[in-house]
């Protein structure tokens, strides 16, 4: 990996990318919360008699959580191009439910 590019153009591009990532993160978080609201039973432990749609809702939530982890890693890579080398997220960013 190359080092961070230090220029005004790189910082501007990084700011646009971070804004897009924040929007994507918000949409994914909203989807997870909607699934939890629609299927309250997803918070319980999985049971042998669970309906297939409940199982798939759990899988979808797990996939969203993985995607959020990858987005966070990408966020950190883009943030190095900002002037201070990082962009702090707010204190609520890691709370899905």
Reported as half-sphere exposure (CB side, CA atoms, 13 A), residue 44 has a value of: 10
pLDDT over 50 at 97, yes or no? no
Q: List for the chain the helix, strand, coil content (%; round to 5).
A: 65, 0, 35
Mean of the per-residue pLDDT values of the chain: 82
Give CA–CA dist 95/12, Å, rounded: 28
pLDDT over 60 at 1, yes or no? no
Q: What is the pLDDT of residues 45-92, one digit of tens each?
A: 878 888 899 999 999 999 999 999 999 998 888 888 777 655 555 544
Q: Structure pTM?
A: 0.73
């Amino acid at each position: 990996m190359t080092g961070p590019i230090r220029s005004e153009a790189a910082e501007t591009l990084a700011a646009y990318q971070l804004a897009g990532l924040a929007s994507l993160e918000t949409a994914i978080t909203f989807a997870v919360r909607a699934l939890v609201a629609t299927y309250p039973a997803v918070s319980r432990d999985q049971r042998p008699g669970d309906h297939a749609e409940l199982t798939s809702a759990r899988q979808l939530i797990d996939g969203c959580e993985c995607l959020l982890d990858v987005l966070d890693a990408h966020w950190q890579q883009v943030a190095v191009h900002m002037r201070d080398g990082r962009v702090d997220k707010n204190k609520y960013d890691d709370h899905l439910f």
